[in-house]
Structure formats: structure tokens, C-alpha cells
Amino acid sequence: MNGMNFCTQLMRGMWLVVAILSFSISACDSHSSHQLRIGTNVWPGYEPLYLARELGYLKSDQFQLIEHTSASQVIRSYRNGAIDMAALTMDEVLLLKENGFDPRVILVMDISHGGDVIISQPGIQSFFELKGKTVGVEKTALGAYVLSRALELNGMAAGDVLTKHLEHAFHDQAFTSKEIDAVVTFEPVKTRLVNSGANIVFDSSMMPDEIVDVLVVRGDILDEHSADIASLVETWFTTLEYFKKNPDRSAQLMAPRLAIEPADVLASYDGLVLPGKRENQVLLSMTKGEGKLAGNTRKLVDAMLAQKTLKTSVNTLELFKDVSTVHDWK
């Protein structure tokens, strides 16, 4: 019996060693093949990511696209560590930086030139007519920033309108049921409301180059996965080229997710600039210590401080310091 017990214990020990080794190897493989999670909300400027997935350009074993119903949800997911990368506006990135996070800008996805709007009920013809009325706005930096700039440019004060917090997913419903007199929104809601007879009383073309959408990645993730992220950047530019050469086919692929007709998909890009590789180089290259976007971002910091949407200044150069590791400017 003693001999049998010894053999049994020996076999159990050998199996334990094998199990430990298998787990260790599995863990190493899992780490080396980490699937990067990219969070976005629905917005035409981010849609080329999903187009890349539809076309098979985006490698599913490397990247997972996670769609949220609002920018607020994207920010929460980033804060909670549920995503590794996020598509955000620069003002949202600044708030993350202010709150102690380490977002690194790796790509300029789009520049809004009319894509972000304030839309009013049919009987309201101008922004000034919103005085004393209720404006729906998502409680993100962008929503507050657009509304504050509209008030400023129209010579009005913050107290001249009433605000109601509405996440993007509820913009259609609240507007249609007339819970609000106007809403700060963007595509595809913009197209749906305009098609129903609503009026655009302010848009981002009135504040040129102030709303920039970027792709950011956590600093530690960028350090560990720079090669994968570099391939993602190249995939983005490849997809933009496909979109440029095949707009109708691209629109057909994008329409179901945006919940608008293919013709409206193409029209939604009229209010956007999608910078290609060369334009990104101009915006992001840290020539002489500062790129064009870094300089514009410092101006955005000053504006947000003045409007008290940002409480303290942030070092904007830190947002761009590693951008060259994932771009091939040749």
C-alpha cells in the first residue's frame, strides 16, 4: 500500500507541474496576443473604423470595437479601464488629462466643420430666440463647450437658456416629444431631425478648427503595443483611401449602423474634414517641440479655463510626445 501511495502522490505531483506549466504558457500567450479594445460612440468621423472591420482590414484578433450609446459612456469606460483606446474630442481628452489619466493622441480622425450643431424646433428661426427656452445637452465637455461658444458668439450669457441633460441616445425622442426647444447634437441625429423640419441655428463651422476628434490610447498600452497600434493607424489611412475611391459602396456598408439612408451618409460628411496621412503629419509632427494640433490645443485649454469647463491647466505636450512611434511619415 505504501508503494502504491508513493506512486499515486508522485503522479499527482507530475500532473500539478504540467498544469502549472500549461497555465504559465497560456498566460504568456494571452499577454502577447492582447486584444486592444477601442471604444466609440456613433459618429460619422469614427465610422471608418467600422468600415475597416466590414472590409476585413481590421484584424479581429488584435482589435475589438466597442460601440457605446454616448460620449459619456466612452469616457466612463476609459476611466474604468474597460477599454484601451477611445475616440474622443480634444476637450474630452483634456478633461481626462486633468483628472490624472495618461491619454496619448495617436491619430486625428476628423475636424468638425458643421457636423456639430444646435437644432431648434421648427418655429424657432435663430439662436437668439432660444433665450428663456430649454436646450437639451449631453453633459460632456463637448456639449457644454459648443453651447457656451454659441452663447458667447451670440452675445448671450449662460443663464439666458435653461439646460436639460440628455445623453445622445435620447436626443431624437426628447426633441420629437417637444420636451426641449433645442438640442446640442451631431450626426446621425442631425440628419434625422433636419429631415423632420427642424432648424439648425448654430453649427461648428461658426467656430472653425475648434472641434477635433482624435484617437487616444493609454500610455502603458502604447508602450507595450506600439507595433499593433502602428498597424491600426495604417489601416485607418487605407480605409480612408477606400472610402474616397468607393463612396457609394462605403455608404451602403455604413448606413445600417448609422440608421440613415446611404445618400444621407455621404451628406453627413459634408460637415467633416477627414485628415489623411499627410494632413496628420502636419497636425501631429512635433517639429521644434510642438505640432500644429498641440498649439491649437493650448488655445483650447485657455478657452476652457475661461469658461470654467477646465479647472486647472494641463501640459498639452505630454499628450503628443510618443506620436512618432506609431506613424511612418515617409
pLDDT of residue 26: 39
Distance of CA 29 to the CA centre of its chain: 30
* Residue 155's pLDDT band (cuts 50, 70, 90): very high
User: Residue 230 in contact with residue 326, Cβ under 8 Å?
Assistant: yes
| Lowest model confidence (mean pLDDT) among 1-10, 33-42, 96-105, 135-144 | 1-10
CA pseudo-torsion sign 248, 249, 251, 255: positive
Task: Read off the C-alpha cell for 203.
Answer: 453649427
* 225 vs 9, residue with greater confidence: 225
* 212 vs 290, residue with greater confidence: 212
Query: Please, what are the domains in the chain?
Result: 36-111+211-326 (3.40.190.10), 116-206 (3.40.190.10)
Q: Is the pLDDT of residue 18 over 70?
A: no
CA distance 12 to 260: 62
| Lowest model confidence (mean pLDDT) among 63-72, 118-127, 318-327 | 318-327
CA distance 280 to 293: 9
- Whole-model pTM: value is 0.78
Report pLDDT digits (tens) over 22-39. Answer: 434 333 433 345 799 999
Nearest alpha carbon to residue 313 among 328, 329, 302, 299: 302
pLDDT of residue 12: 47
- Radius of gyration of the chain measured on its C-alpha atoms: 24
- Which parts of the chain are beta strand (E)? 36-41, 63-68, 85-89, 103-112, 116-120, 134-137, 162-165, 182-186, 199-203, 212-218, 272-273
Mean pLDDT over residues 60-86, rounded? 94
Q: Give the list of residues 6+ apart from residue 234 with CB closer than 8 angstroms, or none.
A: 328
Mean pLDDT over residues 179-204, rounded? 94
Report pLDDT digits (tens) over 35-71. Answer: 999 999 999 999 999 999 999 999 889 999 999 988 8
